[in-house]
Structures are given as structure tokens and as C-alpha cells.
């Protein structure tokens, strides 16, 4: 499964550059958000949102857009 670059838009409307672990060209298995000089990796929804200084309701559901290769 390749990591693909793109942009994530969280439920509260904030946008970040991100990388997505994509299966079958459509299923997102994991996300890495680039916030400042840090990378926040989604493993647990509560921990993930807390690292972004947000509640899960501010993060989920999120949308995304992959960069063209």
C-alpha cells in the first residue's frame, strides 16, 4: 500500500497537508497530518484529535483530496 500526498479537511473546516495510506486506490487505512514541523499519525481517534488540539467531533468526519501523481 503506497502513501499518497494530499490535503485533509477536518470536520471543523481546518485544512492540513497530509499523507494517506491507500488500499485499492480508494480505501484510506491511515493518515499522517503535517502540522507545523510535526507529523500527527492517526492510530486512535481520541489520541489523534488531542494531538491536533481538537475534540473528535471537530475532526470526524474528515474529507480529503489526493495530489495528482
If pLDDT is split at 50, 70 and 90, which confidence band does 5 have?
very high
Of residues 10, 26, 30, 7, the one with CA closest to residue 18: 7
Encode pLDDT of 6-53 as tens digits. Answer: 999 999 999 999 998 887 777 787 889 999 899 888 767 788 888 889
69 has a pLDDT exceeding 70: no
pTM (2 decimals)?
Answer: 0.65
**Within 10 A of 69 (CB to CB), how many other CB atoms are there?**
6
Cell numbers for 7 = 490535503
Amino acid at each position: 500500500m503506497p502513501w499518497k500526498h494530499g490535503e485533509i479537511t477536518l470536520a471543523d473546516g481546518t485544512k492540513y497537508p497530509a499523507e494517506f495510506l491507500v488500499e485499492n486506490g480508494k480505501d484510506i487505512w491511515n493518515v499522517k497530518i503535517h502540522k507545523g514541523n510535526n507529523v500527527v499519525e492517526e492510530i486512535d481517534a481520541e489520541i489523534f484529535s488531542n494531538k491536533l488540539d481538537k475534540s473528535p467531533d471537530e475532526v470526524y468526519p474528515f474529507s480529503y483530496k489526493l495530489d495528482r501523481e
